[in-house]
Amino acid sequence: MEPLGDEVQRELGRLGPQAGIGDAVAAWPDAVGAEIARNAWPARFQRDGTLIVHARDSVWAFELTQRAAEISSRMPSKPSLKFIPGPVPEPSAEAPATAQVSPPEATAEQALEASRYAAVIDDGELRELVARAARASLARTPNDRSV
C-alpha cells in the first residue's frame, strides 16, 4: 500500500481555490466568534482566491465588510473577503441552551414589602407584575445588586 496524501493534494490542486473551502469553514467560528458565525458563513472561493461569505442580510454584510481586514487576519490563509447577503446555515440542534437562572426566593417580609410598593397601582395585572419584580429585586443579596 502507498500513502495517498500526495495524490489527494494533487487532485485538490486541480480544483483551484475552491479546494480550501473546508479549511475556511473549519476556521470560521473561531475566527469570528459565535454571534457572527450565526449570521455569516463562508460560501465559496472566487477564482482570484477571494472568499465569498454569505451574510444573513445586507446590514450584516455591510457591517462585516467594515471588519473584513480584521476577520481575514484571523483566518488561516488570510484570504480577501467579500460579504454578500445569502443563505446562512441554521444553528444546529445540538447548540447548548443557555442555563436559566431562577431568581432567588423572597422572604415573607420581602414579599410583604413588595406588595406594599405595588398596592397603589389600580390595574391588577400591572400591580402583580410590579410586585413580582419588586420581590425579585428585594430577594437579591446586596452583592448581587451591584451587577
Enumerate the CATH 3.30.300 domain ranges in the chain, comma separated: 13-85
pLDDT grade for 75, boundaries at 50, 70 and 90: very high
Q: Which residue has the higher pLDDT, 7 or 24?
A: 24
Decide if 115 contacts 131 (C-beta within 8 A).
Answer: yes
Q: Which residue has the higher pLDDT, 15 or 41?
A: 41
Who's near 28: CB < 8 A, 6+ residues apart?
Answer: 37, 41, 42, 75
The CATH code for residues 13-85 is 3.30.300
Q: If you average pLDDT over every residue of the chain, what do you get?
A: 84
Residue 147 pLDDT greater than 50, yes or no? no
Residue 136 pLDDT greater than 50, yes or no? yes
What is the distance, to the nearest Å, from the Cα of residue 35 to the centroid of all Cα atoms in its chain? 2
Residue 17 pLDDT greater than 90, yes or no? no
Which stretch of 6-10, 15-19, 105-109 has the lowest confidence by average pLDDT? Answer: 15-19
| Average confidence (pLDDT) over 85-91 | 90
Residue 137 pLDDT greater than 70, yes or no? yes
Could you give the C-alpha distances from 2 to 5, 10, 71, in angstroms and in order? 9, 15, 39
